[in-house]
Amino acid sequence: MDRKFDALILGGGAAGLMCAAEAGKRGRRVAVIEHADRPGKKILISGGGRCNFTNTHCQPEHFLSANPHFVKSALARYTPADFIALVEKHHIPYHEKTEGQLFCDRSAEEILKMLEAECAAAGVQIFPGTKINEVERAAEFVVRAESGVFRAQALVVATGGLSIPKMGATGFGYDVARKFGLTIRATRPALVPFVLGVNDRNQYCDLAGVSAEVAVSTGDHAFRDKMLFTHRGLSGPAILQISSYWNAGEPIRIDLAPGRDIAAATGDAKTRNTAAVRLALQGFLPHRFAKRWVDLHTPAAWNNPALAALDRQTHEWILVPQGTEGYEKAEVTAGGVDTDELSSKTMESRKMPGLFFIGEVVDVTGHLGGHNFQWAWASGASAGRAL
Ligand SMILES: Cc1cc2nc3c(=O)[nH]c(=O)nc-3n(C[C@H](O)[C@H](O)[C@H](O)COP(=O)(O)OP(=O)(O)OC[C@H]3O[C@@H](n4cnc5c(N)ncnc54)[C@H](O)[C@@H]3O)c2cc1C
């Protein structure tokens, strides 16, 4: 089999399908080459099976990248309102959870079916279960797969990042980028739970399943949200968010009582003792955690300086995570194809005309809450309109 198209899209995930539909609508003959048995598998497991498909507050500030300005053009060209309009055109019911996060009422499957329907209507051909052996460029791009050869003037790399290898994630996109001389920014797992060191694990991890509202920070970055104890460390939205900014070996600071004055609460108690402190903490921390915290931080005396010290410790629990749970559990991969290599309007390589990179393979990583899909849609649409 030797087939010729206008554009070949490697990877039929969120970004690849969006790009294919946009290019197909403009009359381009498009092939999506996907190695998994069906496209969009990550969409199906996203948002706990309900797909947090966008965030109505999505702004460039919600992304990490060596060049924080890079996302601006694509995000302005394809907005959350554009994707919502598509969802509404397909009569998919959805709801807002918190802070602009939009989820399907029923199932993430509906988002995938919507994208497949858009592709089908635009005449896009999808080739699932297609293992790629080689990508090269002569007069045009040539993709040699086990099932045949694909040729086109344009090649879009949409193979995603390294997170969740058992879902089909590969470093293939980075290999293609390197092959064509593009620079890769070092990759690392992001939006990922922390593993604690042995001492902290022994002290806290039997609390697995317990969660609390905290403010967590590292360097200049801070998030206020839920933290969850796990069997090996810490997770929950606040922890996942800060993990994207964490550098190995650095401490994180956790305020277990954001905005609360513990010293005042305990100082007012008629009897200053362990029970009074525990009671004060139980006003905002889960009972089991409050008890453990007081057991491990019982003041040496019941005077004002000792209570002030407990107050400080509770507002600034300093931990050095042993590491993260890695790509196996990371929601996304930070780093990737250097944005300096790409046009921010079209995602086309500056060095190699006709070669595009979109979605997670690019050095753009969103905060939790629908921003990563919005980047996939926006970068995919930008490239699709340029093909
Ligand atoms: C558990 C989980 C939940 C998530 N939930 C959300 C959420 O609710 N909201 C949100 O915004 N983000 C969420 N994300 C992140 C989001 O899924 C990604 O940011 C997004 O899917 C990236 O889109 P992409 O198209 O770049 O990559 P992907 O969607 O990963 O697609 C890449 C595609 O390329 C294929 N591929 C890989 N290598 C090859 C190869 N060598 N040959 C051919 N094909 C290949 C893959 O099989 C895949 O289909 C979640 C991630 C995970 C892991």
For the residues of 178-202, what is the DSSP string, one character each?
HHTT--EEEEEEES-PEEPPHHHHH
Residue 36 CA, closest ligand 1 atom number: 47
Cα distances (angstroms) measured from residue 4 to each of 127, 148, 151, 220, 361: 14, 11, 5, 50, 25
Q: How far does residue 101's CA lie from ligand 1's centre (Å)?
A: 18
Mean pLDDT for the chain overall: 95
Closest CA to 214 of 316, 330, 291, 366: 316
Q: Which DSSP letter does residue 208 get? A: T
Predicted confidence (pLDDT) at residue 91 exceeds the cutoff of 90: yes
pLDDT at position 262, please? Answer: 80
Beta carbons of 46 and 355 less than 8 angstroms apart: no
**Which residue's CA is minimally distant from atom 47 of ligand 1?**
168
Split at pLDDT 50, 70, 90, the class of 38 is very high
H-helix or E-strand spanning residue 226: strand 221-229
pLDDT(43) > 80:
yes
Question: Per residue in 102-155, pLDDT tens?
Answer: 999 999 999 999 999 999 999 999 999 999 999 999 899 999 999 999 999 999
pLDDT per residue over 229-250, tens digit each? 999 999 999 999 999 999 999 9
Residue 268, pLDDT above cutoff 70: no
pLDDT at 274: 87
Nearest Cα to Cα of residue 124 among 17, 44, 11: 17
DSSP 338: -
Mean pLDDT across 325-331: 97
Rounded mean pLDDT of 332-357?
Answer: 97
Distance between CA 362 and CA 364 in Å, rounded? 5
Task: Tell me what pLDDT residue 300 has.
Answer: 85
pTM metric for this prediction: 0.96
* Ligand 1 pocket at CB < 6 A: 10-16, 33-36, 39, 41-42, 45-47, 51-52, 132, 158-160, 163-164, 168, 170, 172, 331-332, 359-360, 370-373, 376
**Residues 262, 267: Cα–Cα separation, whole Å:** 8
DSSP state of 62: G
In this predicted model, what pLDDT tens digit does every residue of 127-136 receive, in sequence order? 999 999 999 9
